[in-house]
A and B are shown apart, each in its own frame.
Chain A
Amino acid sequence: MSPETLAQVSNYAVASATVVIALAFLAHMAEWGFARKVDQPVEEEATVTVGAGAPAARQSTAAADDDAPSRPDLLSSVGVSLTGLGTVLLLVGFVVRGFAADRVPWGNMYEFGIGGAAFALVVYLVLVRVQAIQWLGGIVTGFALVVLGMAMSTYVPAGPLVPALHSYWLVIHVAAVMLAGAFFLVGAASSLLFLIRHRAEERGTVGGLLSRFPHSAVMDQIAYRTNAVAFPLWTFGALIAGSIWAHYAWGRYWGWDPKEVWAFITWVVYAGYLHARATRGWKGRRAAIIALVGFLTFLFSYYGVNLFGSGLHSYAT
């Protein structure tokens, strides 16, 4: 197949992946919609217990028959399987794009977009199996849609790389950055939900919707785990691999170029997050806020700097 047809196949795969992920997103929104309509369901900590000894099931007890999965659960599993299908399609599009351009498919903003989304979805799906985090489905699929939309807007035909990007350190640098970004996304999403649910728990206003999510302590633990995995990845990917590539390409491993500055800022904020989790008075709420700030700095270092940064990274040279 000629590169042009390969590129066409890749574009179709990415487009259909986007549609499927949009359906998955709708499924999760419907899941939340139905969960919200249920009035005050039983909660583990809820003071009112329904009958002595009745298992404090997380699902709402209002469902007629107890063995058939409740509608929100059904929608949640539909969402997850659709996400799975969408991810496979996106991976196909991503890999075929690589063949079309006859190189690793991360050399421009379009490819960073679809690659970043693919990494994020794969990591999410792995963690769904390992840590059952399908309650994050809504946020992750929503975020992936935004990323894919932006990628489409910066579409560039598949072509070879400019010489400066011919380096296996680039391959390692970008792969590690995308992988770290995927974990940062899960970490930030669970920190955000932790804050919402933590506040509701303190006020005792955990409604039908919030009962779809695990206890805030569980979300905080998952946020810590994923950010703790991402931090060494980011240290290696953004700081080490990036600097080694810069050393070979521009003769200096660190030059405070805007992209390097924001990689550094992201690193420092997440170091602060890991510190906050071990500092009295900063655990929990404040640490979660730092994780969100960290994620914003990561997004800015991934996107913002390229769009209006003037540095060496803006692929103008």
Chain B
Amino acid sequence: MSSREREGGPAPALGSREFGRWIWRQLTSMRTALLLLLLLAIAAVPGSVVPQRGVDARAVEAYMTRNPTLSPWLDRFGFFDVYTSPWFSAIYLLLMVSLIGCILPRTRVYLKALRARPPKAPKRLERLPASATFTVDASPAEVASAARDVLRGPRFLPARVDVVEDGDSSEVRVEKGYLRELGNLVFHVSIVLVLIGVAGGALFGYRGAAIVTQGSGFANVLTQYDEFASGALFDPDDLPPFSLQLDEVQARFWTDGPQRGAPRLFRAAGTVETEPGADPQPFEIRVNQPLGVDGTSVFLVGQGYAPVLRVTDPEGNVVFDDAVPFLPQDGTYTSNGVVQVPDAEPQQLGFQGFFLPTAVVGEDEDASVSIFPGAVNPIIGLFAFEGDLGLDDGTPQSVFILDKTNLTQILDEDGENFRISLSPGQEAELPNGATIEFADLRLFARFQVASTPLVELPLVAISVGILGLVLSLVVRPRRTWVRSRRGSAGTVVEVAALDRVPRDDLPDDLDDLLERLADALGVPASVTRSEHEENDQS
């Protein structure tokens, strides 16, 4: 049985055309497909061991600082961006080429086979994996019509039956299970469509994160995002011009029971204007329930506390009065934050410290900790700095980092770092005469605004693909022949069946077929089973 693989053996000195065709046949062979699949699995592993920029950029930076010698090499070979790296992309693109190269010819063959009639019975039926012979009195024509009724199959899924009769012999040819190949092709095509959908979504889509404090608003423009990533073909002025006003943020936690302190409800609510001037409609966003605004969705992916701080500079004028988001670091919302006060005179002021929603004084006096995420006893603890915040030297400043290159820490009388510790309503005065007041406590919501165009394509494609896959795994293509010849002692009937996909219950199916044939011919079942011998399966 010569198969494609053997013909494609080591090519003798071929011309470039034959060599090209040989390479193509190798690329689209089942063996190559299998090897590429296994290679794809292996290539995906590093992405789960080393942090990925696409997944968590901060974790990559932390990893780099932890192993400075290894990281540059990892970076050079794309280990921080495995899934967009050239070597990973090469594997799945090659797999797609092989897939398309494999599907097209098989589709052609399939379409031809759709019109083809069941093949002629092989000369020596008894050499087939399951065959039987018996003798009846009925004429070859009667046997043929009985066989046709038995083998026709259900009306919704009829098998293809041909009957050839001439004088004293007849042959019934039956083929069923066309849906298998169709299912297989549908499944493989769906993979290509999923890839196109995912790639399209990535190229044209964008994802941005923005922190919005209670009472303030957010306009969907590039500058208002803290983080923003978009596909190569994304054009910023395609951003849908909606804006939202965040009136309320709720973060409730279990106060009792085994899950004390675990999150119970996160909710953000307010009004949204789909475009400037449109009348605002109310919206509510919860975890798992995003807000959809013409193709873009706003997801609630985080929340935290934003103490409102009022700062007066040494000359007495209020230079800062706003809510400052402090980023939660753990389950009890111990949060870190920074306050930048560029308008203070004579020198700019900066504060850095922590916020504890339910502060409890630890053993040593100054290290208090937060024991519960709800704001039962909020405390803000800050260190103060003065000098130049370095905001206007052009480099983009993250609002969460205090650039201390030319800042000096403010000290108290005995030279220690000046420490501010305020609960709501309290005010502290710095040695240089500036004051800072913990005026109010608000919550902030961390929104993820994302749009993945074509998101329906991969979803629909993989769902249809699964149907095809199930068909290709369930439907079993099978050819059955019933040949009868008028002999001296009556009509000799030969029955045989061939499965293109090996199945072990072929012998039982044959016995069942013989019994149904006996009924159709009105003879006792023993007649059709008497000379039945079953070739060894294995």
Binding site for B on A (CB under 8 A): 156-160, 162-164, 166-167, 215, 217-218, 221, 228-229, 231-232, 235-236, 239-240, 244-245, 247-258, 261-262, 264-265, 268-269, 271-272, 275-276, 278-282, 290, 297, 305, 309-311, 316
CA distance in complex: A257, B56 (Å): 9
Pair A265/B44 contact, Cβ less than 8 Å: yes
Tell me which residues across on chain A come within 8 A of B34, comparing CB atoms. Answer: 272, 275-276, 279, 282
CA distance in complex: A235, B463 (Å): 9
Interface centre among A167, A265, A282, A310 (most CB of B within 10 A): A265
Write the nearest CB–CB distance from B506 to chain A, whole angstroms: 12
Can you report 5 A-B residue pairs in the complex whose CB atoms are below 8 A from each other? A160-B264, A167-B288, A240-B463, A249-B287, A264-B44
| Contact A160:B254 (CB < 8 A) given known A217-B538, A261-B44, A268-B40 | yes
For the complex with contacts A239-B462, A258-B48, A311-B55, 4 further pairs of A-B residues with Cβ separation under 8 Å are A162-B262, A163-B288, A240-B463, A265-B45
CA distance in complex: A231, B463 (Å): 14
Which of B319-327, B394-402, B466-474 faces chain A? B466-474
CA distance in complex: A248, B292 (Å): 11
CA distance in complex: A309, B356 (Å): 28
Tell me which residues across on chain A come within 8 A of B45, comparing CB atoms. Answer: 261, 265
Closest chain B residue, CB of each to CB of A167: B288
Tell me which residues across on chain B come within 8 A of A215, comparing CB atoms. Answer: 538
B448 at the interface (CB under 8 A from A): yes
Binding site for A on B (CB under 8 A): 3, 5, 30-31, 33-34, 37-38, 40-41, 44-45, 47-48, 51-52, 54-56, 59, 82-83, 198, 207, 254, 257-259, 262-266, 286-290, 297, 299, 301, 331, 448-450, 452, 455, 458-459, 462-463, 465-466, 469-470, 473, 504, 537-538
Pair B48/A262 contact, Cβ less than 8 Å: yes
Tell me which residues across on chain B come within 8 A of A166, comparing CB atoms. Answer: 287-288
Pair A297/B299 contact, Cβ less than 8 Å: no
Interface centre among B40, B41, B56 (most CB of A within 10 A): B41
Pair B55/A164 contact, Cβ less than 8 Å: no
Tell me which residues across on chain A come within 8 A of B299, comparing CB atoms. Answer: 248-251
Pair A163/B266 contact, Cβ less than 8 Å: yes
Pair B448/A250 contact, Cβ less than 8 Å: yes
Tell me which residues across on chain A come within 8 A of B207, comparing CB atoms. Answer: 251-252
Pair A261/B47 contact, Cβ less than 8 Å: yes
Pair B30/A275 contact, Cβ less than 8 Å: yes
Tell me which residues across on chain A come within 8 A of B59, comparing CB atoms. Answer: 310
Tell me which residues across on chain A come within 8 A of B51, comparing CB atoms. Answer: 310
Write the nearest CB–CB distance from B447 to chain A, whole angstroms: 9
Closest chain B residue, CB of each to CB of A168: B288
CA distance in complex: A217, B258 (Å): 52
Write the nearest CB–CB distance from A243 to chain B, whole angstroms: 8
CA distance in complex: A266, B82 (Å): 18
CA distance in complex: A217, B82 (Å): 40
| Contact A221:B504 (CB < 8 A) given known A250-B301, A278-B30 | yes
Q: Which 4 A-B pairs have the closest CB atoms?
A: A159-B259, A157-B258, A251-B299, A258-B48
Tell me which residues across on chain B come within 8 A of A228, comparing CB atoms. Answer: 473
| Contact A249:B470 (CB < 8 A) given known A158-B258, A163-B265 | no
Closest chain A residue, CB of each to CB of B502: A221
Write the nearest CB–CB distance from B67 to chain A, whole angstroms: 16
Pair B452/A309 contact, Cβ less than 8 Å: no
Tell me which residues across on chain B come within 8 A of A248, comparing CB atoms. Answer: 288-290, 299
Write the nearest CB–CB distance from A198 to chain B, whole angstroms: 12
Choose one: A229, A252, A256, A310; the contact of B47 (CB below 8 Å): A256
Tell me which residues across on chain A come within 8 A of B459, comparing CB atoms. Answer: 240, 244
Tell me which residues across on chain B come within 8 A of A297, comparing CB atoms. Answer: 41
Closest chain A residue, CB of each to CB of B448: A251
CA distance in complex: A7, B202 (Å): 45
Choose one: A159, A217, A262; the contact of B254 (CB below 8 Å): A159
Write the nearest CB–CB distance from B32 to chain A, whole angstroms: 10
Write the nearest CB–CB distance from B456 to chain A, whole angstroms: 11
Write the nearest CB–CB distance from A119 to chain B, whole angstroms: 20
CA distance in complex: A164, B33 (Å): 38
CA distance in complex: A259, B347 (Å): 50
Closest chain A residue, CB of each to CB of B81: A256
Tell me which residues across on chain B come within 8 A of A275, comparing CB atoms. Answer: 30, 33-34, 37
| Contact A256:B52 (CB < 8 A) given known A163-B286, A166-B287 | yes
CA distance in complex: A276, B33 (Å): 10
Tell me which residues across on chain A come within 8 A of B286, comparing CB atoms. Answer: 163
CA distance in complex: A228, B47 (Å): 28
Tell me which residues across on chain B come within 8 A of A235, comparing CB atoms. Answer: 462, 465-466, 469
Choose one: B38, B83, B455, B504; the contact of A217 (CB below 8 Å): B504
CA distance in complex: A279, B29 (Å): 9
Pair A268/B37 contact, Cβ less than 8 Å: yes
CA distance in complex: A77, B289 (Å): 51
Pair B452/A253 contact, Cβ less than 8 Å: yes
CA distance in complex: A290, B459 (Å): 28
Closest chain B residue, CB of each to CB of A3: B257
Write the nearest CB–CB distance from B138 to chain A, whole angstroms: 36
CA distance in complex: A229, B38 (Å): 21
Tell me which residues across on chain B come within 8 A of A311, comparing CB atoms. Answer: 48, 55
Tell me which residues across on chain B come within 8 A of A254, comparing CB atoms. Answer: 198
Tell me which residues across on chain A come within 8 A of B462, comparing CB atoms. Answer: 235, 239-240
Write the nearest CB–CB distance from A275 to chain B, whole angstroms: 5
CA distance in complex: A249, B290 (Å): 8
Interface centre among B38, B299, B455 (most CB of A within 10 A): B38
Pair B37/A232 contact, Cβ less than 8 Å: no
Pair B44/A251 contact, Cβ less than 8 Å: no
CA distance in complex: A232, B52 (Å): 29
CA distance in complex: A258, B44 (Å): 10
Pair A159/B41 contact, Cβ less than 8 Å: no
CA distance in complex: A157, B257 (Å): 9
